[in-house]
Structure 1
């Protein structure tokens, strides 16, 4: 059974961009697409109030949002199997539930109006932190969102926390026939012990060499599984979030790993993922690593 790509839609321009990206992704991988609009009016009002003017208008708005989303996805990819639903839940609960049986959950980076926009931001953060599947936040410039032949960029932390993200990035690069940039940032220690005068060598080179060896180790298995994917190793000194945000300017997708633990709560997002979700110039995929 093929698990769908799920998209949270709310009628905003941002969510329409998420629909476009998700429909392209579903067509690329031969997956079904599921459009979900979360609406609380039915749950809170109940059947006794369903004929009230306010409720009726909310119902019409919800139907218009999901119908427009469905039409947009079908126009771009009529071959994709599409399922659409209005669910009587808040967006966070609905999408976390959907994530349990999804290949990925896709959201925009803003909602309708300042209040909804703030809520959508919190929903995206919650999904990236807690969802058991990959979460993609579609953000950045239009050319980056349209996959205009830029590279797939994956941030490599260490082999134990980056394995799932690396595999996802290779899978995307192969499907898109893209170059994969594997990026490892390194830093000099803030306080370094005074070197002995008889010892030689450049400490900076040592840290760079260690970063390169770690990158080789992290990529080894995925490169064997995807020999046709061209890989560029990028080893750069500097804060990881600055390095990755710089590379996002020319990327079609930025892929990051996120730790998970068993149970309903995920580990907090690190500063790198937090910065990427707020400031990257391209869509960001957060891949859970257990």
Structure 2
């Protein structure tokens, strides 16, 4: 009997029913009996749009683009829907100070509900197969580099690099003499079995990305870094073996659960949103600028947040 119940609990249909029951139970627990959200209209009028634009201008010292303004409006609508649902469920009083916290509280609740579902047989393995690159160890490379200093060589740096590259190719495999052919450099000339992230920390992302693409057994260049110009000889580049599921299962489960939370939250929010009539006034064109959005808009942020660089 117990094994039968366990088997049933793994069925997607049963899990959906249980998730729905959790939502209903949470509403019954936190919401007042018979309580409904009284106002099913969310009005984003011209005055509110003007306040969004004004707040954006104060924060970013420029008007928003239409895409950025749409992001702010979408974040406001999402927050308001979640806030009203939180109030209807009795998660807090109708206080402007707690509005944002209540919307977040409802999101935390849905996150917990999403974690209720465990992956069915084979589901986690399939997720692993679809996302193997997330769990692969970084490839390793062994190389030497000769540095040319643009502060010393000025406009002749690239021409000098091409001339030296031709000589190095003629010489073949690098030795101490060829590695000393360039200018003095604060970092080492020889790197043994380092990953792209190791190289990036010392020589920057542009250099590391370029070097990881170079073929072994020959000289390459010029390769640029923040320091100057480099000529690079790759001895060996070794790709990491494919990861084994059993070795990374815990990480796969964590990523799968995170994705399930995101999917559940989207469906939950869209279901709530469908219960509202949302009216948004057309923003004045002369209060916007042209161009794509270069800020990240989220619920709980009135005027956006600059993405991490």
More strand by share: 1
Q: Which has the higher helix share?
A: 2
For normalisation by structure 2, the TM-score amounts to 0.20
State which structure, 1 or 2, has the greater radius of gyration over its C-alpha atoms: 2
Question: Relative contact order (alpha carbons < 8 A, sep ≥ 6): 1 or 2 greater?
Answer: 2
TM-score by length of 1: 0.21
